[in-house]
Structure 1
Amino acid sequence: MVPAIRVPRRAQFAAVAAVAALALTACTPDEPAPTPSTSAPTEPVVTAAPSESQSAAPAPMAIGELASVPLTVADGVDPGPAQGRSVNLPEGWSAEVWTAIPDARLAAWTPDGRLLVSSGDFGVVHVLTPGQGGEAPASSVMLDGLRSPQGLAFTDDGATLVVGESDRLVAYDYAAGVASNPRVILDGLPSNGHGAKAVAISEGTVYYSLGSRSNREPAEREANPERAAVGAVGLDGSGNRVFARGVRNGFALDFAPDGTLFVAVNQMDNLPYPFQDDSGRFGEVFTEFVNDNPVEQLTRLTDGIDLGWPLCVPDSRDGVTDVPYVPDAEFNADGSRLDCGALPATQVGLPAHSAPLGMTFTHDTALADVLGAGALVGAHGSWNRTPPQEPYVAFAPWDDATATLGAAQYLMTGFQDDGGARWGRPVMPVVGPDGSVYVTDDHAGLVYRLTPGP
C-alpha cells in the first residue's frame, strides 16, 4: 500500500464540522519562516492507497511509511541548524548534509555532472563539483552581481544556460563549469509581489513564471504585462507571450515524460467559502475552511490554458486528483465572468498553503529505476498558518497509460516539530547522475543528499 498525502474530504469542509480553531493562512515563498527549534520532527500524515489507475504507474519501489533517519555530514561541511537532526525518509534511504550554500534556492545539473544552485538574496549562482567518497563537493561562485537569481535551466543540447532574475531572463554559453557571453532575452519584467522567476526550456522556447502581485485581485488578469501567468519567449527574445493565465504563483516548472509542461502553483489565501450549501456560510472567510483551502495545484499547462485565479477555485471536496473548479464567491459568484466548469481539471491537489517551489520529473534520471517515473516536488511550508503546514518533499507517480500524475506521497519530512517551529525549509529536489536526490534548503542554507537504499 502506497500512502497518499491527506487533503480533507467533503465532510471536513462542512461549516458545522467539529474542528479546532486555527489561524488564517498564506503560502508566499518570500515570507519569513518561524523560529527554528530543537524539538523532535513530526511524522507525515497519510491516508489510503491511490486509485487503480495511479497504482498502475511504473513505480518499482512503493514509498510506504517513512522512518526517522539521522542526517550524516559530508567531510568539512558545517551543518548549521541540521546538526544532530534526523529527517523522515522511505525505509532503507540515507540522508547527508552534502554542502552549505546560503539561501540555497533552485538548482539544475549541468551536462558535465555539476550542480548549479541559485542564491537569490546574495545575487549569485554557485557551481558544485561532486567529490569522492564522503567528501563535500568543490564549490565556487559561477555568476555574481545578479538581480535575485532563481530559475536555472539548460537548452536541450546543454550548451546554453538561462537564468531567471527578478526582472529579466539572461542566457549564457556554458562549458566546463563556466558561464560566459551573457545576453538578455527579456528585460523589464515586474518583480513586485510574487516576482521571482523560475524557468524551463524546450525546443528553443523559454517558459517563465510571472506570479501575481497580490493575493487575489482580478484586475491582474488584465494588467500589462498580465500577472498570474506563465510566459513563453524564444531564446532570441522573440515572440514573448502569455502561455498560461490564471496561474497565481506557478514557481515550479518542469516537463513530463510526454514532453508537456507541468506547474506546481502557490494558491490564494483567505478564501471566502465558495459553496452554496446548507451551512449558510457562502462568501464568509473563516479559519476552519481557509486552513485547508484551496489546495495547491500540480497540473499540466497547455498553450492558452486558464487555471482560473482568482475567479475560479479548485474544489477538492471529492478528492485530490482530477480536481474541478467552482466560482469564487466574491468575484464570480454567478459564473458570468468565467465559466469554471469549462476549465480543465487540476491533476493533483497538494496540501493548502504548503508552498511548492521546486519540481523535477524523474523519468529521464537514474532514480527512475528505483522510484519510477513521476514528479518530485519541494514544498516550503506555510508562513502564517496555525499550526503551520509542514515543509516536505513529495513524489507524484506518473501513469503512462493516461499521461497523468497520481496523488502525491511524502518522500521527505521532519523539518518541523509538533509546535510548528522549523529548523529547515526545502525548496527544490533534483536528481543527480548517481541516482541520489539533492534537496536545497534556503532556511538552513544547506543542500541534502538523499540516497535510496538497497
Structure 2
Amino acid sequence: PTAVPQPTEEIAAAPEITAEPTDTAVPQAAPTEASAVNTLVPEPPTATAPPTAASTDTEAEPTATEETEETAVPEAEPTETAVETTEPTAEPTSETAVEPTSASQPPPAVDPGEVPPVISNEYPDNNDKTGWENRINVPAGFTVTYVGRVEGHPTSMDFGPDGLLYISNQEGSIFTMDSSGNVSTFASGYTTPTGLAFRPGTSQLYVSDRVTNESVGGESQISIVGQGQLIGGLPCCYTFLHAANGIAFGPDGMGYVGVGARADHGEILDGSGRQDELHPLEAAILRFNPDSGEVSVYARGFRNPYDIAWDANGTLWVTDNAPDYGPPEEAHRVVPGAEHGYPWYDCDTCFSPPPGVEVLPPTYTFVPHSSPTGITVYKASQFPSNYYNSKFVALWSAFAGAQKVMRLADGPPQNFATGFAAPIDVVVGPDGSMYVTDWATGIVFKISYTG
C-alpha cells in the first residue's frame, strides 16, 4: 500500500477475494492519467478517509468482500477510549540532523532475483479458517493458524503489556484481539491511523494519524491514546497518502517515526535552498521525545517510509515505497544523519545531490510495485536459531511478486510465507510466534514453528 495506508499502483491481475455476497461496498480505485499501463488511484470514500502511507502510489488495491461477523468479547477487555484532540497543540521543533557516522554503512543493495510462487487465484471465504490455513505456504516445520478477523482494513499492529494484540484499521478504530480471536473495540475516532507502538515499560499506546486529510497540504500527528496529541504539524499527504507512518521505540528510550514525502519523486519549490531545508520534517525518519514531543531528524531520503523496526544490534531498519514510474521497492539499514536516496535516486530524470552529500543506496530491493509495508525483526527463541535477528517484510500490493512475507537475512530476500491477499503488517508476539494481518480480508494469521 502506499496508502497507509493504502498503497495504490498499477495493476497486473489484482487478486479477487471470493466471499459471500454482502451489501458493503468495497473501496475501489479510479483510473487517473493515461500511461503505458493502467494506473489506479484510490477513489476518496464519502464516509471514511482514504488510505495512507504504504506502497508506490500507483498500485491497485486487492478487492475483498467484507462480511459482518459477531465476535465474543473477553470478559476483561479494555474499554473504548475516545480520541481527545483533533487540533494540533504542539508544533514540532526541528533540530539539526545527527551527523553521519562511518561506523555502520549499509551493505550494497541486493538484487532479489526472485520468481514468485504459483498460487491459485481462488481465495477462500473470509471466514473459512481451514481454507485460509491451507492456502498460506510456509517452510517445513512451520504451521499457520487463522487467529481471528477485525472489521475494515487493518493498517498496523502491536502487542500490549496485557498480552493482547492491538490492531488499527484504515477506517479509524483500534481493536484488541486475544489468543482465541475474540475482538473488542479499544478506541475510535482517528483519521487513517498508520502506526501503533506501546512505549516500553508502560501502557501508553502511541498512534500516528491525520489531522487534516488533504492532498499535499494536509497535516498528520502523533497522539497517545487517552491523553491526546503529542506532536502536530507533521507533513501530509501526497495524493492523500504519505503521512506519519510506523512508530518504534529505540534502545535509547526515544520514539522514532517514518514520515513520507509530499510528492512522488521530488518537488519544484519556490525560492532557493534544498528541499530538506525548506520542508525539514518530510521524507525522513524523525526522533521524538515521548514526554515532551520535541522532534529532530534522525535520517533523510525516504520517499514513503511505511514501517520501522530495531534489530538485536541496535540498528534501525525501514521499508520504503518507490515512485510510481516503477523502480524497485526498497528496505534500508538506516544510518543516523545520512541521506538515503530520495529524491536523488527516486527519479526518472535525476538531479545531482548537493555538493558534499553522500547518498546511500538501499540495502535490499524488491520487485517494482510490490509495496513493502510492515517490517519486524525476529528476536524471540521459538523459531530455529538461524532465524534470530532476521528481518521480515510484508509485500502488500496486488502485483505479481507481492502478497507475501519475505525474510531478509544473508543474501537476497527469500519467500517466507505466501498466499495472502494483501499482507499489511507483521509482528512477533510474546509467545515467539509471528503474526501477520491482511488489509484486504481483516484476518490475523499466526505462524509458529512446531518442528
Both proteins in one fold, TM over 0.5? yes
- The alignment status of 1:191 with 2:236, answered yes or no, reads yes
- The alignment status of 1:407 with 2:420, answered yes or no, reads no
Distance of aligned partners of 1:84 and 1:307 in 2 relative to their CA distance in 1, 3 Å threshold: closer
1:258 & 1:83 partners in 2: Cα distance?
35
Q: Deviations over 1:74-102 (max 9, x none)?
A: xxx82499669612221243223221112
2:319 & 2:353 partners in 1: Cα distance?
27
Post-superposition offset of 1:235 = 0.8
Q: Deviations over 1:270-292 (max 9, x none)?
A: 1xxxxxxxxxxxxxxxxxxx4xx
Distance of aligned partners of 1:106 and 1:453 in 2 relative to their CA distance in 1, 3 Å threshold: same
- Matching of residues 220-369 of structure 1 within 5 Å: 221-270=276-325, 290=326, 293=327, 295-313=328-346, 330-332=349-351, 335=352, 337=354, 342-364=358-380, 366-367=382-383, 369=385
- The alignment status of 1:208 with 2:257, answered yes or no, reads yes
Alignment counterpart, residue 170 of structure 1, candidates 201, 214, 223: 223
Q: Is the 8 Å Cα contact of residues 247 and 257 (structure 2) preserved in structure 1?
A: yes
Alignment counterpart, residue 423 of structure 2, candidates 422, 426, 440: 426
Q: Deviations over 1:235-256 (max 9, x none)?
A: 1234312222110011110101
2:443 & 2:58 partners in 1: Cα distance?
18
Distance of aligned partners of 1:409 and 1:269 in 2 relative to their CA distance in 1, 3 Å threshold: same
1:183 & 1:244 partners in 2: Cα distance?
27
- The alignment status of 1:381 with 2:397, answered yes or no, reads yes
Alignment counterpart, residue 163 of structure 2, candidates 110, 113, 120: 113
Distance of aligned partners of 1:196 and 1:31 in 2 relative to their CA distance in 1, 3 Å threshold: farther
Farther off after superposition, 89-98 or 301-310 = 89-98
2:129 & 2:387 partners in 1: Cα distance?
30
Runs of 5+ consecutive residues of structure 2 not aligned to the other structure: 1-34, 41-54, 66-106, 109-115, 211-219, 269-274
- The alignment status of 1:145 with 2:189, answered yes or no, reads yes
Post-superposition offset of 1:124 = 0.9
- Aligned residue identity for 2:419: G
Q: Is the 8 Å Cα contact of residues 117 and 126 (structure 1) preserved in structure 2?
A: yes
Post-superposition offset of 1:338 = 5.8
Give the secondary structure class of the aligned counterpart of 1:165.
Answer: strand
1:104 & 1:98 partners in 2: Cα distance?
14
Post-superposition offset of 1:212 = 1.4
Match of 1:325 in 2: none
Give the secondary structure class of the aligned counterpart of 1:427.
Answer: strand
Post-superposition offset of 1:366 = 3.4
Q: Is the 8 Å Cα contact of residues 427 and 434 (structure 2) preserved in structure 1?
A: yes
- Matching of residues 34-73 of structure 1 within 5 Å: 34-35=62-63
Q: Is the 8 Å Cα contact of residues 118 and 124 (structure 1) preserved in structure 2?
A: yes
- Aligned residue identity for 1:125: I
Give the secondary structure class of the aligned counterpart of 1:251.
Answer: strand
Q: Is the 8 Å Cα contact of residues 142 and 449 (structure 2) preserved in structure 1?
A: yes
Give the secondary structure class of the aligned counterpart of 2:155.
Answer: coil
Give the secondary structure class of the aligned counterpart of 1:187.
Answer: strand
Give the secondary structure class of the aligned counterpart of 1:207.
Answer: strand
Q: Is the 8 Å Cα contact of residues 144 and 447 (structure 2) preserved in structure 1?
A: yes
Q: Deviations over 1:285-339 (max 9, x none)?
A: xxxxx4xx2x2221222321111212125xxxxxxxxxxxxxx56231xx36466
Match of 1:440 in 2: 437
Distance of aligned partners of 1:113 and 1:148 in 2 relative to their CA distance in 1, 3 Å threshold: same
2:58 & 2:444 partners in 1: Cα distance?
19
Alignment counterpart, residue 451 of structure 1, candidates 434, 439, 448: 448
1:429 & 1:329 partners in 2: Cα distance?
32
Post-superposition offset of 1:444 = 1.3
Q: Is the 8 Å Cα contact of residues 312 and 338 (structure 1) preserved in structure 2?
A: no
Give the secondary structure class of the aligned counterpart of 1:312.
Answer: coil
- The alignment status of 1:23 with 2:3, answered yes or no, reads no
2:370 & 2:189 partners in 1: Cα distance?
31
- TM-score normalised to structure 2 length: 0.65
Q: How many residue pairs were aligned? A: 335
- Aligned residue identity for 2:413: A
Post-superposition offset of 1:266 = 0.5
